[in-house]
Structure 1
């Protein structure tokens, strides 16, 4: 089972296309949305072919935009200082979840974040 990281711009999970997927290859597409995303036309084909596996690895290791990384860090700093568990704070935490696992904590070695979206070595 292939695990693709969420979209780095909107956190949408890529969806498998039942129309284009078959026994030998899975075709993943960015889901439609009312909010425009610059990656909305992305298509990733996944099979056992080496170039497909390289495409998946490249998608999963791409860097987050700097503003998203800064947002995750600012939210962590806010929670550490305020220990705020209000409904709004919990909603923000949930919204950042897809990105947060790909932003290392301060002093955490970068190589502990793996290509599959944040599992630690």
Structure 2
């Protein structure tokens, strides 16, 4: 599945609808510290921090990327339920890591302490993991 990864800066109405679907599937722990999926999306778009995976003009996954002095930090990674286990999340992380390297820095994943799925993803991709 050729998923194009981009920092979303000018979302269409369809992009907004797709983002809502992506984060509607998200567990509550993934949204913290945001009160809702809508708040997470709004803040990510306002700060141009939302990195998305697109296939056939539809968004399948998204995450927040913080460009910090000590490196980039990827958090709030979520893929639509119907698209999970097809490599979309991995593609998002790998391409964001490549963009970070191009910018002369590194990428770190961020997830709640003890979250086994995030630990496994970080280990498979050889990326450091920060606790939220």
Pairwise same-fold verdict (TM > 0.5): no
Structure with the bigger percentage of strand: 2
Q: Pick the structure with greater CA Rg.
A: 1
* TM-score normalised by the chain length of structure 2: 0.27
* TM-score normalised by the chain length of structure 1: 0.29
